[in-house]
Amino acid sequence: MEKQNISSGLSRREFLISSTAAAAGLWAMHPVFSSPSEAQTSSQFVLPILPYPYNALEPVIDEQTMRIHHGKHHAGYTRKLNAALEGYPELSRLSIVALLHNLPKLPDTIRTAVRRNGGGYYNHSLFWMAMSPEGGDRPSGMLKTAIRRDLGGYGSMREALSRAALTRFGSGWAWLYVKDNGTLAIGSTPNQDNPLMLGVSSIHGTPILGLDVWEHAYYLNYQNRRDEYIHAWWDRVNWPHVEDRYRQAVEA
């Protein structure tokens, strides 16, 4: 279990919370959370440490882009998520996945802030882990089999995800995700939305690979050439990690 914790990029605190909440039946454990409480907890989401140096993904993603993207953008989402949850200790005890699953149930006062910043916190945590300086191989094992079964093989999957990323108007993400019926699918979401956001996002399931197509992800190096960024990005995909996520999603 500890290995899953590390490989999925969650802090130990989040992992423990996630396990505990799941075991207890998430919302049954927290039936009342509509009003801020005076009782504060010290639990806070923490910016994950990048699993490689800032320059490790060059030339595909340059060092300065990584420094700003992780150290400013991702840090900002993390800080604003914590700020939104201040005064809601019942919510602060939940995992990020539980928060995003249950956006429609959150208080009106913080729903949009959690959607934007909780989404940004989760999406970037996944993004860093799903890339590697040694990336770019091909999917293997049960993930390879599922891609062939549900998406027609690696080439078709790659083409579909690239198209979803290229045609996402404005800022957003393209996803490879596992639907609730266990099949793989490809789609995209605007802003910091993701497939975890039941009742909010038009696609629903468990993301296992995401591609950030906000301009902040590529503009310094590629300017307006999103297609070149997408094409180059495939050389950094960490398929063993994506396969771990796939296994966790279908075995959950």
Enumerate binding residues for Mn ion (CB under 5 A).
212, 214, 217
Residue nearest to Mn ion (CB): 212
Q: Among residues 73 and 144, whose Cβ is nearest to Mn ion?
A: 73
b/e 156-186 (16+ beta carbons within 10 angstroms → b): ebbebbbebbeebeeebbbbbbbbeeeebbb
Q: How far is the CB of 145 from Mn ion (least distance, A)?
A: 31
Q: How far is the CB of 136 from Mn ion (least distance, A)?
A: 21
* SS3 of residue 67 by DSSP: helix
Q: Among residues 89 and 187, whose Cβ is nearest to Mn ion?
A: 187
Q: How far is the CB of 129 from Mn ion (least distance, A)?
A: 14
- CA 63 – CA 13 distance, rounded (Å): 29
Give me the phi and psi of 41, to 5 degrees please.
-110, 165
Q: Among residues 93 and 115, whose Cβ is nearest to Mn ion?
A: 115
Q: Among residues 214 and 233, whose Cβ is nearest to Mn ion?
A: 214
Q: How far is the CB of 217 from Mn ion (least distance, A)?
A: 5
Q: How far is the CB of 169 from Mn ion (least distance, A)?
A: 16
Per-position DSSP letters for 135-183, written without gaps between them = ------HHHHHHHHHHHSSHHHHHHHHHHHHHH--SSEEEEEEE-TTS-
Q: Among residues 30 and 73, whose Cβ is nearest to Mn ion?
A: 73
- CA 188 – CA 165 distance, rounded (Å): 7
